[in-house]
Structure 1
Amino acid sequence: MAYKRLEQNAFKWPAIRDGVLRLDPAQFEALFAGLDWRRVTALETLPPAAAE
């Protein structure tokens, strides 16, 4: 079970598209930790070019 407290009379939820609210795991954790989930982005990582 998860919940979000109302802070300063409002909070922002992600947009609902096709009836679904989508968050990646990091955004979900940020949202329910009280952080600004909109500022959380995945870092782009590249696979190693060659194994040593």
Structure 2
Amino acid sequence: MSFKPLTMAGEQFAKALICPLFQYEEEAAAMLDERAMETAIAMQNKFADSSW
């Protein structure tokens, strides 16, 4: 699979849209203990596997 590089506008849009999502995810993860994190990851994986 080959990807084309983003245009400058596309890169700016992606940064504005995607970077905040990672920030929110990191903040949420910081509030979880290890067991809760393992449970959350397992649930995400189960959801991802069932979506196809």
* TM-score higher than 0.5: no
* Range into which the TM-score falls when normalised by the shorter chain: under 0.3
Instruction: Give the number of the structure whose residues are more often strand, by fraction.
Output: 1
Structure with the bigger RCO (C-alpha within 8 Å, sep 6+) is: 1
Instruction: Give the number of the structure whose residues are more often helix, by fraction.
Output: 2
